[in-house]
Each structure stands twice: as C-alpha cells, then as structure tokens.
Amino acid sequence: MQNFNKITLKNGLRIILAPKDDSLATTVLILVEAGSKYETKEINGISHFLEHMCFKGTKKRPKSIDISSELDAIGASYNAFTGQEYTGYYAKARIEHFDKILDVVSDIYLNPVFNQKEINKERGVIIEEINMYEDLPKRRVQELFTALLYGDQPAGWDIAGEKEVIKKINRADFIKYKNSHYLPQATLVVVSGKFDKNAIEKIKKIFSSIKIGKKNSKIKTKEFQAKPEILIKHKESDQTHLVLGVRTFDIFDERKYALQVLSDILGGGMSSRLFQKVREELGAAYYVYSSADLYTDHGYLAVPAGVDNKRVEIVIKAILGEFKKLAQKPVSKKELERSKEHLLGHLFLSLETSDEIASFYGGQEILTGKIVSPNELVKKIQAVKAEEIQQIAREIFKNGKLNLALIGPFKEKSQFEKILNLS
C-alpha cells in the first residue's frame, strides 16, 4: 500500500504527500481546523458561509467565474465542504495540471476578497440551501439527532447555521473569523496521486505568505443524559425518517476499531443484521444502516432508517432488539470475519482514487494529529475480538444513552417513550 510523507514547516503548516505512481490524476486538498464547533451562537454558520465565499473571488481571480472557468477548462473535479471540526477545499485533475490546481486551490484558501455585494447575494444561496435540507427529511433528521444529543452547544448546532444569523453576517465577521482560524498551525495541505517531484518546494513558496496568528480554540462538548430522549418533528409525509442511536466515545479511544466492526455487523451492507431484519424480513424500510461517528471530544453510533409510517414502532423495536443481541451474545467467528473483510474491502477499494487517498490521510491528521496507514489499519481491524465487541455493546446500549430523532406524521412522544427501552 502507498507510503506517505509528512513534513511540518517552521510556521506550523503541515504537508502530506501520498504518492500513487499508477494514478491517472492528482489531488490537492487543503484542510483547516475551522468548523461549526469553533463558532459562537452569534456567528453560527460562518464556517460554511466562508467556505462559499472563498469561491466568490480572490485578489488574483476577482469573480467566481474566473475560478470555475479555469478549473473547468482543464476538466478538473473540485469542491469544498464544511464539517463540525474542519473545512476542506480540493481539486482533482490530470497529472499534467498539478501546478494549476495547486495555484487555484491555494488562492481560494489564502486570498478571498469577501466582496460585500457577493456576500449579500450568497446569503440567498445559503438560505436556499437551508430550505433544501428542510425538504430532505432523510438528511434533516440527522441534524435533529445531533441537536437532541448535544442541545444548545456547538456540537448540537446545524453546520449551515440559522437563517436569522446568516442574514446578519458581514464582511468584518468573515475577516475576523478567518484571521482567527485560517492559520498555518491549523492548516494541512495534502497532495495525492501522481504529482510533481518539486511539490513540497512549490507548496512552501505559495504558503510563505500565510498570515501568522494565535488560533482560537473550540469549546469542549459536554455530555449530559440520564434517560432515553426523543425529538419529534411533525411533518405530513409518506414515509417516516428516523435516527435511533447511542452516545459512544471520542476518536482518540482505542476501542474505535472494535466499534467500527460492531457498526458494520449491525448495519454495514445488505448482509448486515439490520438490513436483513428490517428490510428483508419485515419489508418495512427501503434504507437502514449503521454508522459510528467519532470526533475529538464526543462520538455516537447511529442507525438511520426510512420507514413505513404504520410500522415505525415495529422497526424501533427491531433495532433495539439487535442492540440487545450484540450485548447479550458474542458474534460468531464467521460473522466477525465477514464484517472485517467487508470493512477492509471497502477501504482498499476507495483508496484506488487520489481524492479518497487525500481524504484518508488528511482526515486523520487534521482530527488527531496522528496517521494510521492502511496496512496498520488492517492489523488493528483484524485484531478485534468478539469479546471486545460484546463489551462495547454492553457499555453503549443502555437506556441512559438512547436517543431517537424522528420526522413524520407524529406529534406525541408518549407512544415512543413506552417502547424506547433496552432493559
């Protein structure tokens, strides 16, 4: 499996090179420790709004069309994204266009002009994006789930922010926020695929102009829960979308590898327990799966599902039943091996492309400051024992950690309070 090389410049900027000599493409990914968990209530949504504004013009490319046309002209794939703990900007193109995508992506990151007219226009775009998510219950219910878990603190806020806040954010807010977070010690440049042998020197030269400053830290997420919690959003719909899940632990916990296997056994793929039970046996849902989402100071395991309105209670009971089985009985050797191979197979298939390689290395580095290589990850996943999975199941599948978020034609919590029980 490909090697990687990490260096840290004197100003704190980190560079990761992940070569893949047989790649037909190269990817440049810039990650920065700036996301919704670094915001205050007054500017909730600014990380995401700023990401949009970086594409609206730079000193070198004053208009958005100057950026997009330059990348489109070389057939590049490009975008940006904002999460709770970091923001990313990337472009992927044929290997002969490495210099071009490095120049454009770094320019977007380093030199946005934050034109006030463009800010005013983009407010409407952001608000329509928020409206779009409101009309996508499959996605919206996941935001309600984190709001239920963490309440009125950054981990519980929507990444896109509140409409009323978006309407007030101005140019001075962007400049202040960028100067507080878009700093070398909080920034990582990843180059992956096949690329120029002088990549490091080129990155050093471009980022020699990055502003130095003191990084603002984020508020630590607080966990508080004593009993099962429920959040219902009433919406007349043909299908109920729900997320049923539990609190777990953060990304630094070594049990995360066993949790990954547990989640895969539960709802990873069409042969998983939940898919077989809820879709194949009950015929009550089109989608149902499990995911373990771990961050620097919190984490959770969630089971999203789109369910027949009349059979919501049956599905919730079925999911709870699978939680209990994992806690009560060790998984078989056959199922354990199948799950491990499923996880690792997906990992290695994804690492065939330069953008996924960049995400694999960059995502680990920006969150933990430590990288586990694909080969090391294989060893850690293969080492997971059935007893470890059962032990974690016993710890996380408890009433005091249960949370249910739901969007559908329901108004009262009482019918769900009666069944949300693992004892």
Of 51, 70, 85, 122, which one is the catalytic site residue?
Answer: 51
Alpha-carbon radius of gyration of the chain: 23
3-state SS record for the chain: CCCCEEEECCCCCEEEEEECCCCCEEEEEEEECCCHHHCCHHHCCHHHHHHHHCCCCECCCCCHHHHHHHHHCCCCEEEEEECCCCEEEEEEEEHHHHHHHHHHHHHHHHCECCCHHHHHHHHHHHHHHHHHHHCCHHHHHHHHHHHHHHCCCHHHCCCCCCHHHHCCCCHHHHHHHHHHHCCHHHEEEEEEECCCCCHHHHHHHHHHHCCCCCCCCCCCCCCCCCCCEEEEEECCCCEEEEEEEEECCCCCCCCHHHHHHHHHHHHCCCCCHHHHHHHHHCCCEEEECCEEEECCCCEEEEEEEEEEHHHHHHHHHHHHHHHHHHHHCCCCHHHHHHHHHHHHHHHHHHCCCHHHHHHHHHHHHHHHCCCCCHHHHHHHHHCCCHHHHHHHHHHHCCHHHEEEEEEECCCCCHHHHCCCCCC
- 33 catalytic residue (yes or no): no
- Type of residue found at 217: S
In order of 295, 319, 420, the CA distances from 400 in angstroms are: 20, 16, 11
Residue 116 neighbours by CB under 8 Å, 6+ apart: 170, 171
Catalytic residues: 51
